[in-house]
Amino acid sequence: MQNKNIVLGVSGGIAAYKACALTSKLTQQGANVKVIMTENATEFVSPLTFQALSRNPVYTDTFDEKDPEKIAHIDLADWADILVIAPATANIIGKIAGGIADDMLSTTLLATEATVYIAPAMNVHMYAHPAVIKNMKQLEAWGYHFIEPGAGYLACGYVGKGRLEEPESIINTINAHQKANLLLAGKRVLVSAGPTQEKIDPVRFFTNRSSGKMGFAIAEAAADMGADVTLVAGPVALDTSNPRIERIDVTTAEQMYEEMHAHFSNQDIVIKAAAVADYRPKSVYNEKLKKQPNDWNVEMERTKDILLSLGEKKLDQFLIGFAAETTNPEEYGMNKLKKKNLDAIVVNNVASDGAGFGVDTNIVTYINRNQKVDKIPLASKREIAEKILELALRDQKEDKA
């Protein structure tokens, strides 16, 4: 935390009193702390308390411009290295997810490019409400980091999950994440994601159910950990915002093959998460085929095996493949690992609840070439991505030892 510029956002919940201790501990660790309070937060704790603890002005009103040469919420958004919301109420979480900017804290949050940590605190039933869950998943997908609340006796009288995490734990979580952000500094990572589309005629094509979410999560996580990332993406409805990601959009298996090989030679880690078509129509028609009275047979031919060709070509690259299976996933994964000369493979059973295509979570097994097995239980695809990258770094270090 030494010399870090931290904006602490305090929203209106009873747990606001814990933010006082958080401010004090951050300051003691050498951070420069500036506090933004919502109007409701000031009903629980006086702004003067935070001013005394942080030794900086406290911001409560978007229109209270303390310096006429600067727009306060933009200045704070640019100043921050880290932005922490503690406590984060259901209201402020919903505002960020909905793009609402109607007070000092929400406008700063929408304007900042700093890393944002959200520490929720609310009634146990509010925390479990589908709208709150949906908003948190959306924010997590956008790269916000959550510090999960603890379980225990709540101010409302209920016992359950929803209590603001303790200040020491919040700081430890942020420190660990900031340290992890440096793990891939100076590394080059190549990722493929999404499906491919294999054309039959101008209106039809063969594809699969891959959404690209897992591959995109890996690319975003690698960039956040300091890597320079090249993302080769099939046709998906996903955005990338991290400036460390160079995105290359492709459609067909052949195009993905060409781009993966074009960028392969200077990479440190290569992760092929894309679900590439194994076959394509042997004949492609320039005009739409009309409906016929009889059955229609489409003759298919093999596409190039991207992963196998990269395995044959690799020198110092750490190559990771994916295996989406429905039967005996680990057995098939082991076979693929050996056959394609991989350094590791990530296996998942797409028939399992919470795993597979289109969902925001996954359950995977990571197997390295020494057949060391690491099972990663149900988690968000972003969390899975971070764990895969950490395991890859572990194996790289062991290989060089």
Active-site positions read: 156
Cis peptide bond N-terminal to 377, omega within 30: no
Which structure tokens are listed for 319?
């190559």
Q: How many residues does the chain have?
A: 401
Q: Which residues pair with 325 in a beta bridge?
A: 349
Taking alpha carbons only, the member of 335, 330, 321, 227 closest to residue 276 is 321
Which residues does 367 contact at the CB level (< 8 Å), separation at least 6? 330, 333, 334, 337, 344, 345, 347, 373, 374
Which structure tokens are listed for 229?
């990332």
User: How many helical (H) and strand (E) elements, i.e. helices and strands, does the chain have?
Assistant: 13, 20
Q: Cβ(60)–Cβ(39) under 8 Å? A: yes
Which structure tokens are listed for 98?
């909905």
Nearest-angstrom CA–CA distance, 235 and 197: 8
278 is in an annotated binding site: yes
User: What's the one-letter identity of residue 194?
Assistant: G
Nearest-angstrom CA–CA distance, 318 and 55: 48
Which structure tokens are listed for 326?
């429905």
SS3 annotation, 77-123: HHHCCEEEEEEECHHHHHHHHHCCCCCHHHHHHHHCCCEEEEEECCC
Q: Cβ(162)–Cβ(154) under 8 Å? A: yes
70 is in an annotated binding site: no
Nearest-angstrom CA–CA distance, 269 and 317: 6
336 is in an annotated binding site: yes
161 is in an annotated binding site: no
Binding residues for CTP, as ranges, are 278, 288, 322, 336, 340
Binding residues, as ranges, are 278, 288, 322, 336, 340
